[in-house]
Amino acid sequence: MAARVIVVTSGKGGVGKTTTVANLGTGLALRQKKVVMIDTDIGLRNLDLLMGMENRICFDLINVVENECRSYRQALIKDKRVENLYLLPASQIKNKDALKAEQMIKLVEQLKEEFDYILIDSPAGIESGFENAVAPATEAIVVTNPEVPAVRDADRIIGLLQAKKIYEPMLVLNRLRSDMVKKRDMLDVDDINDILAIKLLGVVPEDEQIIVATNKGEPVVFNQQSKAGEAFRNIVRRLEGEAVPFMSFNTEPGVFGRFWKMLHGK
């Protein structure tokens, strides 16, 4: 099977790119895929923290592309919980221009020989960091939140990706709150589908277990009780080509909900 090279990007900052990469990477590896996650957020690395790998970094992405270590293998950090899961961490240097698109393309060319999935965590924005992250990718996941600025930026990013010949980016809608959707105080899945009109890969609810997961350095996909964990497991299956029905975020209360309301006269 040919390697899939997927960039995870958003335009707007803080919408859940890094969370998505950590969970999809872990989820894919749990399904016996060989996965490498590349953090391209130079100067603001975070993926190592979400994976609980921050104390094991010796070399980073810049060391690799500048040939400051023997091979990329020296920089890869292997996950201790799941087989076949690796992280290539970003550098903490301040010079964001240290990385070039051609270097990323060359590196990913090598990684393709060895891995099934190469997931690239993009920094926020549309400048060189974004360009570097997208350059080697053939597929893209756009992460957004159900809020006006995040959706606008997602639309812009979709345009930029299409200009780079990634014509069918996939959408992850993160941090949906069904209580607010019910009150019609939040954009719902249909609204966002209508506006952005790209393939929906999944919807991840707002879930405090994500914060607990970050505290522990253990992605929420491991958590069988968490709704967000379930959402990420479903996204992994869809990425793998399974037709998984979407979790319901009904705006109408179900039969039980209506009965409850009747009893309480609301």
Give how far Cα 62 sits from Cα of 38, 92, 118, 199, Å: 11, 9, 17, 34
Instruction: Choose the contact partner of 141 out of another protein, ligand ATP, Mg ion, none; CB within 5 to 8 A by kind.
Output: none
Nearest approach, Cβ of 32 to Mg ion (angstroms)?
27
Size of the chain, expressed as the number of residues it contains: 266
13 binds, among Mg ion, ligand ATP, another protein, none (CB under 5 to 8 A by kind): ligand ATP
Which one of 111, 158, 228, 236 is in contact with ligand ATP (CB under 6 A)?
Answer: 228
Count, in order, helices (H) and strands (E) of the chain.
Answer: 12, 8
Output the smallest distance, CB 240 to ligand ATP, in A: 21
CA separation for the pair 30, 81 (Å, rounded): 9
Instruction: Name which of ligand ATP, Mg ion, another protein, none residue 16 binds, using a CB cut-off of 5 to 8 Å depending on partner kind.
Output: ligand ATP
Distance CA 108, CA 96 (A): 19
Binding site for Mg ion (CB under 5 A): 17-18
Q: Does 174 bind ligand ATP (CB under 6 A)?
A: yes
Burial per residue of 170-190, b for 16 or more beta-carbon CB atoms within 10 angstroms, e otherwise:
bbbbbbbebeebbeeebbbbe
The binder of ligand ATP chosen from 3, 11, 16, 116 (CB under 6 A):
16
By beta-carbon proximity to Mg ion, the closer residue of 50 and 236 is 50
253, 240, 222: which is closest to 28 by C-alpha?
A: 240
Residue 149 within binding range of ligand ATP, rule CB under 6 A: no
For position 239 contacting ligand ATP by CB under 6 A, the verdict is: no
Angle at 144 between CA 227 and CA 7, to 5 degrees: 100
Please give the Cα distance from 180 to 118 (Å, whole number). 35
CB of 109 to ligand ATP, least distance (A): 25
User: Nearest approach, Cβ of 157 to another protein (angstroms)?
Assistant: 11
C-alpha–C-alpha distance, residues 261 and 10, integer Å: 39
Q: According to CB under 6 A, which one of 93, 211, 212, 244 is a site residue for ligand ATP?
A: 211
Contacts (Cβ under 8 Å, ≥6 apart) of 240: 28, 31
Please provide residue 88's backbone torsions phi and psi, each rounded to the nearest 5 degrees: -110, 105
Q: Is 40 in the site for ligand ATP (CB under 6 A)?
A: no
Establish if 19 lies at the interface with ligand ATP (CB under 6 A).
Answer: yes
Ranges within 41-60 binding ligand ATP (CB under 6 A): 41, 46
CB of 166 to another protein, least distance (A): 16
Residues near ligand ATP (CB under 6 A)? 10, 13-19, 41, 46, 124, 174-175, 204, 206-207, 210-211, 214, 228
